[in-house]
Chain A
Amino acid sequence: MTSMLQEFNAESALLAERVQRSLVRVESGRWGAGAGTIWHSEGLILTNSHVARSRRLRVSLPDGRRAAARLLARSRDLDLAALTVQLNDLPTIELGDSATLQPGHWVMAFGHPWGVQGAATAGVVIGQGGQLPESPEFGRDWLAVGLHYRPGHSGGPLVDFSGRLVGINTVMVGPDVGLAVPVHEIKRFLKHSLQRAAA
């Protein structure tokens, strides 16, 4: 009995350590700071649109590196923003499959709640789709999770049991329920906005 819980704890700690490497802090001038997630090793960082509000954005990494960030694309409707920094060899987060997530699946979220760097919260998937109660109605999918989002979690990674990214922490709806933008929506956003940026 106990050994299984101990094993669970040990695995969770390893998983947290790995995911925290891809978690950054996004400073947005007078708007304060939020979290961000390293999507690509050559400097692509994902966060929420409501985190990246200032024109002067700075990103700090867990390894101490800091850099100014440029806003590459944003969508207020999706509440997503893509930033780039002039840094290389960033620890990319492994991508998961949000479409196969089911109610009851274990998830962990990372961010800087109330300024506490790299803090974790965990729970299970409540449900997902476009018709969840309390979700902002943008006609797209949300992922509802039973964990404790707090100010500062926004933009940070939501990962599955293997530490793979399944969403970006976005909205807290009450003390015990959060909404994340699922990774399949993020991919669609990136494809759409980066194509446009290239054109």
Chain B
Amino acid sequence: MANVVEGISKELASIVEAAGPAVVRVEGRRRLPASGIVWSEGGIVVTAHHVVEREDRLSVGLADDQQVDAELVGRDPTTDLAVLRVEGVGLSPAAPAALDDLSVGHLVLALGRPGRTVQATLGIVSALGTSWRTAAGGTIDRYLQTDVVMYPGFSGGPLVNAEGKVLGLNTSALRGVSLSIPNSTVDRIVESILSHGKVQRGYLGVGVQPVKLPEALAEELGQETGLILISVEPGSPAEAGGLTLGDTLLSLHGDPVPRLDDLLSLLSSELVGEEVIVRVLRGGGVREQKVTIGERQ
């Protein structure tokens, strides 16, 4: 007896063992250390922003018991991610998996290394949705919630699937539940931090409020609402591009902006410095303005 239970038990333990070497301990705060993931070649380690409480004297604990110095390359509080670099040791990056084959109900493991050894908790995928924005304004590509227990020091560690591949980075700071930041978001933030030392955000310089569009226009555009400008900062990219108080934003760079969230998501790093077409409703007519997106400081 006990063939399936034993089989699953051993498989879970072997997943932990196989994925363990890419899970590191991150010493960046006074209290309990947290976890990190060896993300890419060149000693790049990602962890959660909120567990890196100091900027220097950072170190990383490896699976082979080595403790090595780490440098903070940059951090993005809006997505709760921080990027560290470790030099002089050959670290093997974690094997990633896409979220395409993941479903609600699938078994997943959260791994961490707050101490010497790797630790694990088991759960299932509770919810899997589309992109969402954190309270701090960061865009996360997919909503990935699980019921794994975030044991103390697990923030910054990976969520792994039944094949032992990494689905994302676990954090307990974004909401009161166990959430993971999917690989695609981590990749985007890591890339931005490695090339700019931070995550660039687009800046328009307007205050907006959603308003209902005239019925005929709403039908024509297939869009119920737009964003009316209730303030335009002097000297801002919006002013330079000819936007004025009372204009109603309809779309930016071809994407409709019915709600504030849509506008904020569009103002990502890729658009910084780009000249884009902004469609506005002004005086009953639709017009297009060219606006060069600035960078939010």
In the docked arrangement, what's the CA distance between A14 and B152, Å?
Answer: 34
- The chain B residue sitting closest to A11, CB to CB, is B5
In the docked arrangement, what's the CA distance between A106 and B2, Å?
Answer: 12
Sorting the interface of chain A by its residue count into under 10, 10 to 19, 20 to 34 or 35 or more gives 20 to 34
Task: Determine whether the beta carbon of B6 is less than 8 Å from that of A127.
Answer: no
Binds A, one of B36-44, B94-102, B112-120: B112-120
A129 within 8 A of B: yes
In the docked arrangement, what's the CA distance between A12 and B4, Å?
Answer: 9
B1 within 8 A of A: yes
Contacts of B132 in A (CB 8 A): none
Task: Determine whether the beta carbon of A146 is less than 8 Å from that of B6.
Answer: no
B3 within 8 A of A: yes
- The chain A residue sitting closest to B33, CB to CB, is A133
In the docked arrangement, what's the CA distance between A134 and B119, Å?
Answer: 14
Binds B, one of A30-38, A42-50, A81-89, A159-167: A159-167
- A-contact bits for B7-40, CB 8 A (1 contact / 0 none): 0111011111100000000000000100000000
Q: Which of B17, B114, B151 has the most CB of A within 10 A?
A: B151
Choice from A7, A123, A134 contacting B122 with Cβ under 8 Å: A123
In the docked arrangement, what's the CA distance between A10 and B177, Å?
Answer: 32
Task: Determine whether the beta carbon of B5 is less than 8 Å from that of A127.
Answer: no
Choice from B10, B117, B152 contacting A134 with Cβ under 8 Å: B152
B149 within 8 A of A: yes
Task: Determine whether the beta carbon of B13 is less than 8 Å from that of A102.
Answer: yes
For chain B, the count of residues having a C-beta within 8 Å of the partner chain is 31
Task: Determine whether the beta carbon of A161 is less than 8 Å from that of B120.
Answer: no
Choice from B4, B8, B119 contacting A126 with Cβ under 8 Å: B119
Choice from B2, B122, B153 contacting A146 with Cβ under 8 Å: B122
Choice from B32, B122, B151 contacting A104 with Cβ under 8 Å: B122
**What is the predominant secondary structure among interface residues of chain B facing chain A?**
mixed
Choice from A11, A14, A124 contacting B121 with Cβ under 8 Å: A124
B109 within 8 A of A: yes
Task: Determine whether the beta carbon of A161 is less than 8 Å from that of B17.
Answer: no
Contacts of A103 in B (CB 8 A): 13, 16, 111, 117-120
Q: Which of B9, B114, B115, B153 has the most CB of A within 10 A?
A: B9
Q: Which of B4, B5, B8, B32 has the most CB of A within 10 A?
A: B5
A119 within 8 A of B: no
In the docked arrangement, what's the CA distance between A103 and B153, Å?
Answer: 15
In the docked arrangement, what's the CA distance between A11 and B5, Å?
Answer: 7
Nearest chain B CB to A13's CB is how many angstroms away? 10
Task: Determine whether the beta carbon of A102 is less than 8 Å from that of B16.
Answer: yes
Would you list which residues of chain B between 83 and 127 have a CB under 8 Å from chain A? 109, 111, 114-122
- B-contact bits for A160-197, CB 8 A (1 contact / 0 none): 11110000000000001100000000000000000000
A71 within 8 A of B: no
A15 within 8 A of B: yes
Task: Determine whether the beta carbon of A133 is less than 8 Å from that of B15.
Answer: no
In the docked arrangement, what's the CA distance between A103 and B12, Å?
Answer: 8
21 A-B residue pairings within 8 Å (CB atoms): A8-B4, A11-B4, A15-B1, A102-B16, A103-B16, A104-B9, A104-B13, A105-B10, A106-B12, A123-B121, A123-B122, A124-B120, A125-B13, A126-B149, A126-B151, A129-B115, A129-B117, A133-B115, A146-B121, A161-B5, A162-B2
Q: Which 7 A-B pairs have the closest CB atoms?
A: A106-B9, A127-B119, A104-B16, A104-B12, A161-B9, A103-B120, A133-B152
